[in-house]
Structure 1
Amino acid sequence: MDFTTLPSPLWVLGTGTGVGKTHVSSRIARTWAQSGPVVYRKPFQTGVDRADHPEADASAVSGPGITAENHTLLRAPLSPLAAAQLEGKTLDLADAAHWCQRPAEGRILLEGVGGLMVPLAPSTHFLAWATELKIPCVLVALGGLGTLNHTLLSAEALMLRGWRIEAVLLNPGADGCSREAAAVNASVLRGFLPMPVVVLD
């Protein structure tokens, strides 16, 4: 896929945890950086306690021409709500939304956390919060068994809330699926979805 055609700002969202959102974010950011500065923003990350932690997504995406930023880091590898509760914190979602929308020099790439409906607050999941920002997205999914259901559910949830999905990106490297199997799943998804469905190399 030609990442240079993707709009900015842009969300990289996933059908769940471990589908390769950070890998895709890195690929998009490094492609964009070839033609100008890029700001990568991760509003919520759990399982780390500092920005230079080896598991911090910002560390994986940073590179020449890329500025990586974090808003909220939480120690426990749980949902942001659960991790914040363990630390006796309440996430400031209004501040996080303002932070995501700050102007920047160059293109802006944002990465979600977990799946679309991961809880951020007792009555707010990620999708409800992020919808208010009105930023388009790409949706990253696994390549193999189970991805049809997860992808269609996620895409439908996004479309019902009025999201513009630039593409669905199947990532067979995340689950060890063969490229041939991922290609079959992509073909099936194209019969259901109105946006491009691409199998990543």
Structure 2
Amino acid sequence: MVILASASPRRRELLSRLTGDFLVRPSCVNEVTGKVRPSAVAMDLARQKAEDVAAGFPHDLVLGCDTIVFCNGKILGKPEDAAKAREYLHMLCGNFHTVYSGVCLIKDGRKELGYALSRVKLRNMGDEEIEEYVRGGSPMDKAGAYGVQDGVVEKFTGEYENIMGLPLELISGMGLWKER
């Protein structure tokens, strides 16, 4: 059995493309890390989530994931309020940035970590459009305050699913996933 250590409806939807046999058990971690490099931050947070849930499912395959946005030397997670969402969107619009998703698989005490990255450019949006987008609520539960599925992306390289929050190509190629 696969255990998804996330409450994200997007991750649940994406994981169902790889397997229909999984349970959702969100982790209860604070998402704090001492890591600095974006890839290391994403993998460390994914590890924390997977370890938290694996404690209750030691013989199942537990999947932890964390997605961050990196722009101008700053790591952007989920915005804590509408003002922060507007700030993130102003920073990202018209500029390229990098989306990192860290993945951790744990089963029977064995652990496997990896990450995927995608380069993304949001289209230019004016103040009114940003305000309307933020007012709609979509940015509030997403790293970088946007969803690739929301029509705000101008172009990207890398895996679309990574930008959504669950890099399926990476996961399906990991050894513990193949062994399940």
Q: TM-score, normalised by structure 2?
A: 0.31
Q: TM-score, normalised by structure 1?
A: 0.28
